[in-house]
Structure 1
Amino acid sequence: MTALRHPLFRRLLAGEAVSSFGDSALYLSLGIWAKDLTGSDSAAGLVFLFLALPGLVAPLYGHLVDRVRRRPLLIAMYGTMALVVLSLTLVDSADQVWILYAVALAYGVTFSVPAHGALLKDILPSAEATSARAALITVRQGVRIASPVAGAGIYLAFDGGALAVVDAVTFVVALVVLASLKVVESEPEPAGQPFLPAVTAGFRHLRRVPLLSRLTLALTLLMATAGLMDTAVFAAIDRGLEQPAAFFGVLTTVQGAGSVIGGLLAGMLVRRLGEASSASIGYAIFALGAGIFLVPSLGSFLAGAALYGLAIPIFDIALGTAQQLYVPARLQGRVGAAIDMLSSTAQSASITAGAALVGLVDYRIMYALIALTALTCTALILVRPAPVPEIVPSIADERIVSQA
């Protein structure tokens, strides 16, 4: 991963690793916590709905990201979240499950603000786009090898409040690391443009770049059914494996291990095959993982989780690389937000459907539908491939040219 040669990126990656560890340890445990408090699979699945809901207004966050300095914005977000997660120390009964949902909603806002990806455009030259995205995704997914088990262990040994304190500390550490960076950012988008055209500029750019629109459509289509899994997985664990809800942490750890391999593999695939072909491979692997979940055995569940982990970084890095290469610096926020809004809207609808159907429909039907959708995404990308656009230079590229 050649992006690691850049000191700024290494420190940004270190802060992201610490923050991601705390995030995944906590928010992946929120579903277990909700299940234990209420005894309801639907209540557990609603945690993931609240995580996805903020994406419905993502263009507002993208507009903000393009109008301000990204590093100070990230510092403010980390500080706010350190305080928000501490509210979980107040939860001790089913009547207070709304606090879990409120924290999940705040997490959703944090995840929907596309400041990290936008900052990468300024920090790194275009040649490092794939390497940087691969490193970030590998770290984010890789921490899931240990963090869900660590989170579940702290939760079971102490309580959710102790886990919240640990997560708050990781936010503070990430804040300190980010504050130490000296970044030359592109100039923020100037004020004065009509609000609606400015906010929706990301959607217009997606439409103008066929490769980006095709990859975005595929992700949105997948999310239209993949959200069913966020509820179905608890039913599968309960009814298929007859395991406690905490087994979700084991599946997530296995998925994290698969994601480390997927992140390392994705960089090579994108560089050799391009964004479109790589994404189609990712969706095909995802379909295979969903299909394996139809067999109610421990081995099949673990294999399915590993394949999910392997697949997600591949199509995620492919789309992220395309965004970084083919979008101007001060459209990065709005294009990222447009992608997030489309996929999150679809995901929110499917999570809601899953919460409503989990008691009425066999979880295997849900997984079969997810597998069929992923195969459709593969075909969507491969049929009549979109042309590769021209790369939009970054200020890091301009610095290299001026120094030559």
Structure 2
Amino acid sequence: MAQDQPAPKAWHRRRPLAWGHAGFPRLTAAWVFSNLADSTLFLVLAIWVKDLTGSDAAAAVTFGLLGLPAILAPVLGHIADRVSRRRLLAVSNFAVGVVVLGLLLVDRAEQLWIVYTVTVLYATIAYLTAAAQSGLVRDLLPDAALASGNGLLATIDQGFRLVAPLIGAGLYVALGPHAVAALSAGAFGLAALLLATLRITESPPQAEDERGTWWTESWAGFRHLGRTAPLGRLTVLLAVGFGATGIVNAAIFPYIDQGLGLPTSALAVLVSVQGVGALLAGATAAWAIGRLGEVRMVAVGTLVLAAAAMLLLVTALPAAVVAMFLAGCSVTWIIVAFTTLRQRLTSGFLQGRTAAATNLALTVPQTGAVLVAAALVTAVDYRWLMLATAVGLLLTALAAPWRYARPTDASPAPD
């Protein structure tokens, strides 16, 4: 029977609790290499397409293709729950490394289809590994160490989002895109090796006689989220909240240009500030969750994100810097807290499908909001869009189950 997390020490006085559990340091090392590859490749793909074709539209298609496999999330999550997740992660990292090597064949615009094909395959495997890793973390760590583990992985993720694009862009300029592809493929290969040698006792898949049809089981993650309090309510609220943040992705450009009077390139600096906030939040997430609990941490994070959106109504650079820093903190707190809660309240054989369902539930509204806001931004003052974001996030925070009491028996809800 799982128990409440013990009151943690000050966050800066001890190493992550998860680090003391066998297998987690090796999983973390694999996460470092796969994140290096992901973060390096993500931006360079679009830059390469732009250089090959001279077309902004062709480069934008690259980002669209990276999100396209989200529609396969239920099926990919089902696969992650039917096989050994350790083997699946090892094979997937090896396979994506081989796929990325296909970029070495590209040297002219007529071969753009190869870049697009690699992008779709790479993104599909990324969604599959995300579903599988959630279950692997749950199998490695007890309840008390989940927040610590998720916080550490989030810190690594955000750290690479800050430095890896610079490494990738620098390597791209100095040695060309083929060097970036080779680096990414090598990093994926090292991650695969570490995962293949990971020792872990995995939770067994659901018994054959308890399964429904393939279609029914693929959507079991959504059913579990909907039936399990407070996951269902929080998923809906976060879908609305993250959808609201999608508006900012379109409104940020006129905000920088018209509001701050700065060149669009200033966005890079603001995103770096956001990354610093995310790093701090990842390092403090377990400490904060230990005091507030996962549900209140999600609510507090959403409230802080609403405050960040409100600050973007102020057309002054200091306000923009503070807003981006708070946005980085709040989003990471929300993700770590909700992920920890979801893992804790979900049986082992459903981890992949609930992770995939969460990804789909949060990605689709945000993508839709970006598209709608992009259509409105030329006709509507960006300040109205920022206000709509702030109001949406504030209402989401107020609607959160602030009084939810974490039960002493935190066993996963049956499905």
> Shorter chain as normaliser: what TM range?
0.7 to 0.9
Secondary structure of the corresponding residue to residue 12 of structure 1: helix
Aligned CA distance change for structure 1 residues 98 and 375 (closer, same or farther; 3 Å): farther
Aligned CA distance change for structure 1 residues 48 and 307 (closer, same or farther; 3 Å): farther
2:41 to 26, 39, 49: 26
Kindly report which structure 2 residues correspond to 1:37-116, keeping only aligned pairs within 5 A, or say none.
38=54, 40=56, 46-89=61-104, 100-113=115-128, 114-116=131-133
Secondary structure of the corresponding residue to residue 203 of structure 2: coil
Please give the alpha-carbon distance, in whole angstroms, between the structure 1 residues aligned to 2:254 and 2:98.
33
1:165 to 163, 168, 182: 182
Q: Residue 286 of structure 1: CA displacement?
A: 1.8
Per the alignment, residue 196 of structure 2 pairs with: 179
Please give the alpha-carbon distance, in whole angstroms, between the structure 2 residues aligned to 1:31 and 1:364.
29
2:288 to 251, 257, 269: 269
Please give the alpha-carbon distance, in whole angstroms, between the structure 2 residues aligned to 1:232 and 1:58.
28
Q: Residue 177 of structure 1: CA displacement?
A: 1.2
The answer to whether 1:188 aligns with 2:205 is yes
Please give the alpha-carbon distance, in whole angstroms, between the structure 1 residues aligned to 2:231 and 2:300.
17
Per the alignment, residue 145 of structure 1 pairs with: 162
Aligned CA distance change for structure 1 residues 272 and 191 (closer, same or farther; 3 Å): same
Kindly report which structure 2 residues correspond to 1:185-264, keeping only aligned pairs within 5 A, or say none.
185-191=202-208, 193=211, 194-233=213-252, 242-243=262-263, 249-264=268-283
Secondary structure of the corresponding residue to residue 201 of structure 2: coil
Indicate if the aligned counterparts of 1:44 and 1:231 stay in contact, CA closer than 8 A.
Answer: no
Please give the alpha-carbon distance, in whole angstroms, between the structure 2 residues aligned to 1:93 and 1:373.
45
Q: Residue 358 of structure 1: CA displacement?
A: 5.1
Please give the alpha-carbon distance, in whole angstroms, between the structure 1 residues aligned to 2:71 and 2:337.
23
Secondary structure of the corresponding residue to residue 309 of structure 1: helix
Matched residues, percent identical? 35
Code of the aligned partner of 1:266? A
Q: Residue 327 of structure 1: CA displacement?
A: 0.6
Secondary structure of the corresponding residue to residue 146 of structure 1: helix
Aligned CA distance change for structure 1 residues 296 and 313 (closer, same or farther; 3 Å): same
Secondary structure of the corresponding residue to residue 23 of structure 2: helix
2:309 to 290, 296, 310: 290
The answer to whether 1:339 aligns with 2:354 is no
Please give the alpha-carbon distance, in whole angstroms, between the structure 2 residues aligned to 1:173 and 1:313.
27
Q: Residue 49 of structure 1: CA displacement?
A: 3.3
Indicate if the aligned counterparts of 1:145 and 1:254 stay in contact, CA closer than 8 A.
Answer: no
Please give the alpha-carbon distance, in whole angstroms, between the structure 2 residues aligned to 1:292 and 1:97.
41
Aligned CA distance change for structure 1 residues 355 and 38 (closer, same or farther; 3 Å): farther
In structure 1, the gaps of 5 or more residues are: 395-404
Secondary structure of the corresponding residue to residue 227 of structure 1: helix
Secondary structure of the corresponding residue to residue 182 of structure 1: coil
In structure 2, the gaps of 5 or more residues are: 1-15
Aligned CA distance change for structure 1 residues 98 and 112 (closer, same or farther; 3 Å): same
Code of the aligned partner of 1:174? A
Q: Deviations over 1:351-400 (max 9, x none)?
A: 333454455555554443333322222112146x4454542279xxxxxx
Aligned CA distance change for structure 1 residues 168 and 343 (closer, same or farther; 3 Å): same
Of residues 299-308 and 88-97 in structure 1, the stretch that sits farther from structure 2 once superposed is 88-97
Of residues 355-364 and 139-148 in structure 1, the stretch that sits farther from structure 2 once superposed is 355-364
Q: Residue 158 of structure 1: CA displacement?
A: 3.8
Please give the alpha-carbon distance, in whole angstroms, between the structure 2 residues aligned to 1:25 and 1:58.
24
Indicate if the aligned counterparts of 1:143 and 1:256 stay in contact, CA closer than 8 A.
Answer: no
Per the alignment, residue 26 of structure 2 pairs with: 11
Aligned CA distance change for structure 1 residues 110 and 374 (closer, same or farther; 3 Å): farther
Aligned CA distance change for structure 1 residues 28 and 250 (closer, same or farther; 3 Å): farther
* TM-score, normalised by the number of residues in structure 1: 0.85
Indicate if the aligned counterparts of 1:227 and 1:351 stay in contact, CA closer than 8 A.
Answer: yes
Indicate if the aligned counterparts of 2:100 and 2:122 stay in contact, CA closer than 8 A.
Answer: no
Q: Residue 248 of structure 1: CA displacement?
A: 5.0
Indicate if the aligned counterparts of 1:46 and 1:352 stay in contact, CA closer than 8 A.
Answer: no
2:134 to 112, 117, 123: 117
Tell me the C-alpha RMSD between the 2 structures: 3.0
Code of the aligned partner of 1:310? C
Please give the alpha-carbon distance, in whole angstroms, between the structure 2 residues aligned to 1:392 and 1:241.
53
Per the alignment, residue 353 of structure 1 pairs with: 372
